[in-house]
Amino acid sequence: MLDLSHRAEGEQLMKSRRDFLKIAGLSAFALGTASALSLVTGNKAVAAPTGVSPVKGTYTHEPNALHAKRWAMVIDTRRFTKPEDFQRVIQACNLAHNVPSIPGNQEIKWIWTDKYAHVFPDDLNDYLPARILHGDFLLLCNHCDNPPCVRVCPTGATFKRESDGIVVMDPHRCIGCRFCMAGCPYGARSFNFRDPQDYVKDVNPEYPMRTRGVVEKCTFCTERLAEGKLPACVEASEGAILFGDLNDPGSPVRKALAQNYTIRRKPSLGTQPGVYYII
């Protein structure tokens, strides 16, 4: 008698558990769908842009996609001599990725400029040429080999693609804790304190808009690489920024590194940045 009642209780428990899992599964599916659809501008859900997997929010690879074992960038700082040289590159990135233009200290930046002393504090002395000491330098996420931002993310929203070394962000998994911002020693990440869609003048419908409460940063243009195109900044730089496979001795970046003296940001931290500067 006792055994039978235990068995009945057990079966009831299993049924409730099955029902719960069924409902949880459906809810997760519904949430996932809603989340994928909110690759959006605001409250209106729109279809995911071309090449974007609506489930994962990542870009599917076209047959003509560009591939590398380790994508890297070389910026020839000697070629950036006037404000327009920087603006052309920054605008190309902002337009391609719907980077909002928010005034004040809630700025969102994927690629921006700063002075040498802030960019390369390890390589500073008072007697550097004026062009270097007082000039501007382009900054972006370094897509580090050993990225501290990835180590501190509690949800796996930011991760390094083992296939090509790019450090990406999945805004759907970002809970806005901003540990990654504290972890990044390069200030390469921005937090959306406001709804970014209110601050984008010319919306690119091909690129997903982020939402308030998530972190964002440069992605080395994964969406363009998937379509066989170079990053927007590289294209706009007219040869001043090189991009290629660090593992390929014949790539433009390896050739530039072999022919020029280059430095990287804060090498003493051991992050192994993937962005090199010809000074």
Q: State which of residues 92, 184, 225, 230 lies at the interface with ligand SF4 (CB under 6 A).
A: 184
Q: Indicate the pairing of strand 71-76 with strand 275-278.
A: parallel
Residue linked to tokens 């083992």: 162
Contacting ligand SF4 within 243-272 (CB under 6 A): 271
DSSP state of 60: P
* Backbone dihedral angles phi then psi of residue 191, each to the nearest 5 degrees: -110, 135
Q: State which of residues 70, 97, 143, 254 lies at the interface with ligand SF4 (CB under 6 A).
A: 143
Q: State which of residues 89, 149, 236, 278 lies at the interface with ligand SF4 (CB under 6 A).
A: 149
Does 186 sit near ligand SF4 (CB under 6 A)? yes
Does 142 sit near ligand SF4 (CB under 6 A)? yes
Segment near ligand SF4 (CB under 6 A); pick from 55-63, 186-194, 228-236, 239-247: 186-194
Tokens encoding 231: 């990053």
- Integer Rg of the chain from CA: 23
Segment near ligand SF4 (CB under 6 A); pick from 36-44, 127-135, 136-144, 243-251: 136-144
Size of the site for ligand SF4 (CB under 6 A): 14
In order of 80, 84, 111, 184, 270, the CA distances from 120 in angstroms are 17, 23, 16, 15, 14
Q: State which of residues 73, 93, 144, 242 lies at the interface with ligand SF4 (CB under 6 A).
A: 144
Q: State which of residues 217, 230, 262, 278 lies at the interface with ligand SF4 (CB under 6 A).
A: 217
| Beta-bridge mates of residue 113 | 138
Shortest Cβ distance from residue 73 to ligand SF4 (Å)? 12
Does 119 sit near ligand SF4 (CB under 6 A)? no
Closer to ligand SF4 at the Cβ: 217 or 224? 217
Whether the Cβ atoms of residue 153 and residue 180 lie closer than 8 Å to each other = yes
In order of 8, 40, 41, the CA distances from 44 in angstroms are 49, 7, 6
End-to-end CA distance of the chain: 85
Binding site for ligand SF4 (CB under 6 A): 141-144, 147-149, 167, 184, 186, 188-189, 217, 271
